[in-house]
Chains A and B, each alone.
Chain A
Amino acid sequence: DAKTTQPTSMDCAEGRAANLPCNHSTISGNEYVYWYRQIHSQGPQYIIHGLKNNETNEMASLIITEDRKSSTLILPHATLRDTAVYYCIVRVAGGGFKTIFGAGTRLFVKA
């Protein structure tokens, strides 16, 4: 599975959009981009995933570049409860048991 690179930490003002980048320059054609987040002392929570089209759900939007070498998770109106570690993972379709977590980005949402 492809490796991802994320910034170690980011700050965001409450009520503003949080844009979390992820680089996955070695992604293969059959690898999906997944995002999870982990709030302190809890288990990770699935947010969204996509292959090549942009995706949106009630939690976030996922923007994948045309060459698929990077993506951005967007939390449109960040709240204090969105403070968490956000993990970007690429995973082969059909290779579900190889979900490997990296260090992620620690997002601090400030009032």
Chain B
Amino acid sequence: ETGVTQTPRHLVMGMTNKKSLKCEQHLGHNAMYWYKQSAKKPLELMFVYSLEERVENNSVPSRFSPECPNSSHLFLHLHTLQPEDSALYLCASSPYTGDDYGYTFGSGTRLTVV
């Protein structure tokens, strides 16, 4: 365990479903991130939250909706997804966005859209 916990580990959903991915950290970190990793592609940064405020949104489609209710929890709400959205979704945290610490990643949620 890295200190960043993601649930569920695996998720299969239909294109008309609504689901949410959850990320939780109790490392005292103030910045949290969502990354997407498609098969044979590099990790893509999706969203960045600093002190519960979204500071980065990398042109992500609106069918992905992040939520950060407090500095320990981060959600990714999913609706009307497409099969090409199937990927490993990774959450990470760091003490702050503007410092020199490495990120701590969770183990990811493997999402399959059918």
Q: Chain A nearest CB: distance from B104 CB in Å?
A: 7
- Whether A96 contacts B96 in the complex (CB less than 8 A), given A34-B102, A42-B107, A43-B105, comes out as yes
Of B13-21, B48-56, B65-73, B78-86, the one with at least 4 CB within 8 A of chain A: B48-56
Assess the A96–B42 pair: CB atoms within 8 A: no
Interface: B76 (CB within 8 A)? no
> How far is A20 from B76 in the complex, measured between Cα atoms in Å?
35
- Whose C-beta in chain B lies nearest to the C-beta of A100? B45
Q: Chain B nearest CB: distance from A73 CB in Å?
A: 13
Q: Most A CB atoms within 10 A — which of B43, B98, B99?
A: B43
Assess the A44–B90 pair: CB atoms within 8 A: yes
> How far is A95 from B99 in the complex, measured between Cα atoms in Å?
7
B1-37 near A? 1/0 per residue, CB < 8 Å:
0101000000000000000000000000001010100
> How far is A30 from B56 in the complex, measured between Cα atoms in Å?
21
Assess the A101–B42 pair: CB atoms within 8 A: yes
Assess the A95–B98 pair: CB atoms within 8 A: yes
> Considering only CB atoms and an 8 Å cut-off, how many residues of chain A contact the other chain?
23
Q: A53-111: which residues lie under 8 A (CB-CB) from chain B?
A: 93-104
Q: A40-54: which residues lie under 8 A (CB-CB) from chain B?
A: 41-47, 49
A46-B104, A49-B100, A97-B45 known, 6 other contacts, Cβ within 8 Å: A43-B90, A44-B103, A94-B98, A96-B31, A102-B42, A104-B42
Interface residues of B (CB under 8 A from A): 2, 4, 31, 33, 35, 42-43, 45, 48, 50, 55-56, 88, 90-92, 94, 96-108, 110
- 6 A-B pairs with the lowest CB-CB distances in the bound complex, closest first: A46-B102, A43-B105, A101-B43, A96-B97, A97-B48, A97-B97
